Structure 1
Amino acid sequence: MSTGGPTIALSTLHIHGLVYRSSNHTLLDTPLTVHFHDAPPVKIEERRHRVAWMRDLNDPPPSYRRAPKTGNHVLTISRGEELGEGITGTVYAAHLISWSPTPSQPSDRAIEELDGCLPPLAITVSSRGMGDVFEHEKSVYDELHDLQGVAVGRCYGLFRGRLQTGQMLYHWSDSRPDELDVSVLLLELLGERLPLNRPLFEGAPFVPQDIIQEWWDLLEDLNQYGIWYGDMHWSSFLEALPSPPGLQSEICPYHKRRHSWKIVDLGHGTEKDWLTEEARRRYFKDNFDHIIENLQTGTVIRL
């Protein structure tokens, strides 16, 4: 089985470029400091399907969770370009500044010393009140530890902190004194989505068959771990970064090769369920085929 999860354990993140003064929306020199938060095991959802489609009550879905490594590394980063925005949070590229092996030492070690330990990184920063969604997403990443770097990107931790009164985050529209908690997921930076503006030549399909097969194989990987992926969409699939600068993808234990794409957005609509592999595969196939059929005509839908 792959051991594609992170090889470095962090305790604290200092993030520059996120904290603003709420009174006039000016950037503060103060970094956002967030600390590692250990998410609970992923919850197994209620049995809500036909009995014939579900595992026996005496045969519950197995857990594949690996508890995240605990460590003392401190990483200082800055907010880079915005990569995406949704209801639950905003994704930014992360620019590495410096690090420290322990919180008690100055965070001024050259980032080059971590070469080979960290790929290019991204941060997902919570919208207000979305900390529980981030915790659930980290629980899913822990359940899929062996698929990190295989079918999904590597996750380097969930971190939590709290703003001071009079502060707000860059992507928040205003300040609310009763909502100052912040959650941050530190993730492996991935590549681009399949472009939507590619011309169609002589009726050629919008999504090439090799990419369709690759995306389907990623869903099959999740199926092997009993994970229902309900937020299926064109934007759910990102290309892996080439190595270098990215870390090389791990060989998939099921398909015996390195995937060139990864599934993202494992929070909303992603859960551990009681379905049999065959039943979940049928659900996936119906939804996936519907998305691909529409994409082939340039139409984007979300299921």
Structure 2
Amino acid sequence: MKKIFMYLILSFLLFSCNNDTETQTKTTNKYQTQNVVLLVVDGPRISETWEAPAKENIPNRVNLLSQGVFISNFKNNGTTNTNPGHSALCSGVYENIKNNGTELPGYPSVMQQWLKYSGADKNKAWVIASKDKLEVLNNCKQADWKDKFQPSVDCGVNGNGSGYREDAVTVTKTKEVMRNYSPNIIVINLKDVDSYGHANNWNEYIKAIKTTDASIKEIWEYIQSLPAYKDKTTLIVSNDHGRHLDAKGGFSEHGDDCEGCRHIEFFAMGPDFKKNTIISTGTYEQIDITSTIAELLGVPLQYAKGKVIKDAFK
């Protein structure tokens, strides 16, 4: 009788374990996306990108739209500066943190939370930025998360305080990291558009928008060339902020709540997203990107305030 009882208990435990494994597998395989690359183009106005008369400055994105989805009314509803904007994209919380790299975000990023949840090595999540001050994205002030589960970083010349570097260097670094480590999450910052805007150099500002557009195509094609990424990677292109409308001071600055500063880009391609689609409905915003990344990778988020961009999904 005792043997029969023990057999029944063992059978129940094995059945439970199998069910848990199946549930976990189903959760893991909910989407085809296994990797997410978030590419942040720093500070273009939408009037010079998707709303230019013939979209003449972003020909590569126009062609790539056949593989992806664009949201025409996407907004930054927080502080329209570099560090607060990037922090919102990564944590899903709007905060008015200092813009000079001396203040950590208040809440853990989706990278930190994914590293904890997955148990992966820090080389499986990266922040790669032309601006050194964005190194703060690998940490936060929240006591349970500070100095824990930090993604790898390659920012500026040589880390925070070392100065900015050209975007071409950042694109090269990104490809090296992909090739050497095959990270599942990468956040990239390209700063040249913002830098030439602040320099009040219209011609170079437009040139930088065009160069960045070419870099987006280059990175997408590189993704498709790597077995670890091909057909299982989502690329999201967005902005930390826009720039002032001409009536509010012009393209050389940003930082207020004018439509030029708030209206930003959402363009994405991946195996789980619609193709050849422009979405003009809904109230999607910057912090929704965090929730969408978490949804694709199956990460339970703490603190994030955004929603999943369901209209972008197939």
TM-score range, shorter chain: under 0.3
Higher strand share: 1
Higher helix share: 2
Query: Could you state the TM-score of these two structures normalised by the residue count of structure 2?
Result: 0.23
Query: Could you state the TM-score of these two structures normalised by the residue count of structure 1?
Result: 0.24
